[in-house]
Amino acid sequence: MVIENILQTPLSNIVLITGFFLFTIGLWGVLTHSNIIRMIIGFSLISTGIHLVMISIGYLTNKTAPIINDEIKSELLTSVVDPVPSALVLTSIVISLGVTAVMLSYAIQIHQTKKTLSINDCSEMKW
Amino acid sequence: MLRRIFIFIILLMTAWVFADIALNFTERTQLTGVSKYYVENTAKELGAANIVTAVVVTYRGLDTLGEVTVLFIAAAGIGLMLSRRKQDQHVKQRVIASEVVQTATQIILPMILLFGVYIFLNGHLTPGGGFQGGAVIASGAMLLLITLPDQPFNNQLLHRVESLSGFFYVMIGVLGILLAGGFLDNRIMALGTFGSLFSAGAIPLIYLLIGLKVGAELSTVLQRFRW
């Protein structure tokens, strides 16, 4: 019964739920861990989850990728998925890559000055 | 203890919002608004087969310029932060890759670079584009870092490639204002036959520049992280 229900769930819904799960796991990781590297992994999970959610919102039932070829040229409007979320996710992946790289370089710098990776030892900016 | 309760409440509230969205989510069945316009007009206006590429490079080209700028600022910030590392602090011996890895690198590396170039030159026809191709090229640089950990990169060449391609990218955008409809318009060159390699106006050229820029930038970032 339950398995049948899962099998009947549309694909984009599964992707959407997976994305939300990843976001929540990432948020949990950022909030609970004190190791900076683990927090960075949490942020990466958050952005990956957001990408999955955006992609699943752009999916239209039983449509194909928005690349024009001879087969779908005649009925283009009814045969491709939404191209705008894909373009947004492309931008978003690059931005999250840059953010992750900057965070990692901060981690290196913190490790070099304090010889530790625990966020609890960085209390100068804490009020 | 109080902290754990707070975290639990935050997670619960997030999960509640998400569950609400996910349970009421129904798959869309047709295109609406601006995406309908893009799907309808990409072929005849821009001549690009890949609609996502047309949106990224031309329709929302200014956003992509901003994206490239963000990546550049990130690379510059990493360079600023990690260049102050004391070099003589970690003089421990690096592990040198085995002969199998070294020989395999000589065979695989040209193919990786060629594949990256293929991806960004075919960005207007197939899934792919400048950023993906640049990332593939940077993975080649990563392989090089594993194989020859002590060999420095030709940083001057990387910087030159990066700044020249960035400069020409903006120049193509300005040419779009002068010769065609607006900033980053791809119709400054002939649109060509739909679906062939030399089609879609300036899109292959722009993606070539973006691919070189992103590849050089990511390679610089990767080698900054070298211990």
Contact B40 A77 (CB under 8 A): yes
Judge contact between B128 and B214, C-beta under 8 A: no
What residue type is B56 in one-letter code? V
Distance of CA A10 to the CA centre of its chain: 20
Q: Which residue of B has its CA nearest to A84?
A: B35
Task: Find residues 38-97 of chain B whose CB sits inside 8 Å of chain A.
Answer: 38-40, 42-43, 49-52, 54-56, 60, 63-64, 67, 70-71, 73-75, 77-78, 81-82, 85-86, 89
The beta-carbon neighbor of A68 closest among B11, B43, B77 is B43
Task: Judge whether B17 lies within some domain.
Answer: no
**Which pLDDT score, from 0 to 100, does residue B227 have?**
63
Domains of chain A are 7-65+74-119 (1.10.287.3510)
- pLDDT mean over A59-81: 80
> Which tokens sit at B43?
């072929």
- pTM metric for this prediction: 0.84
What percent of chain A is modeled with pLDDT above 70? 94
Residue B60 within any structural domain of the chain: yes
| Predicted local distance difference test score (pLDDT) of residue A38 | 92
The boundaries of the domain holding residue B119 are: 38-74+96-224
pLDDT tens per residue, range A108-120: 888 888 888 888 7
Tokens representing A32 are 């609970």
Residues 6+ apart with CB under 8 A from B124: B48, B49, B50, B53, B54, B57, B199, B200, B203, B204, B207
pLDDT, residue B92, reads 61
Nearest chain A alpha carbon to B87:
A112
Residues A45/A18, Cβ–Cβ less than 8 Å: no
pLDDT computed for residue A127 by the predictor: 63
Residues of chain B with pLDDT under 70: 84-94, 227
Q: Between chains, do A32 and B51 touch, taking CB under 8 Å as contact?
A: no
> Does a structural domain hold residue B159?
yes
DSSP for chain B, written as a single string: -HHHHHHHHHHHHHHHHHHHHHHT---B-S--HHHHHHHHHHHHHT--SBHHHHIIIIITHHHHHHHHHHHHHHHHHHHHHHTTS-GGG--PPPPPPPHHHHHHHHHHHHHHHHHHHHHHHTTTTSS--HHHHHHHHHHHHHHHHHH-TTPPP-HHHHHHHHHHHHHHHHHHHHHHHHHSSSTT-GGGS---STTSSS-STTHHHHHHHHHHHHHHHHHHHHHHT--
A44 confidence band (pLDDT: 50, 70, 90): very high
Least Cα separation, residue B195 to chain A (angstroms): 8
Give the pLDDT mean for A75-92. 85
pLDDT recorded at residue B112: 92
Q: Per the domain annotation, does B133 fall within a domain?
A: yes
One-character DSSP codes across B133-165: HHHHHHHHHHHHHHH-TTPPP-HHHHHHHHHHH
Q: Which residue of A has its CA nearest to B64?
A: A91
| pLDDT confidence of residue A42 | 93
How confident is the model over A71-80, as a mean pLDDT? 78
* Number of structural domains chain B divides into: 1
Q: Is the pLDDT of residue A47 over 90?
A: yes
Residue A24: its chain B contacts at CB < 8 A? 11, 14-15, 18
Backbone angles phi and psi of B217, in degrees to 5? -65, -45
Contact yes or no for B27/A10 (Cβ under 8 A): yes
Q: Which helix (H) or strand (E) holds A86?
A: helix A83-114
- Does any domain span residue B140? yes
Q: Does residue B134 fall inside a structural domain?
A: yes
pLDDT at A45: 93
User: Does B202 reside within a domain?
Assistant: yes
- Domain membership of residue B14 (yes or no) is no
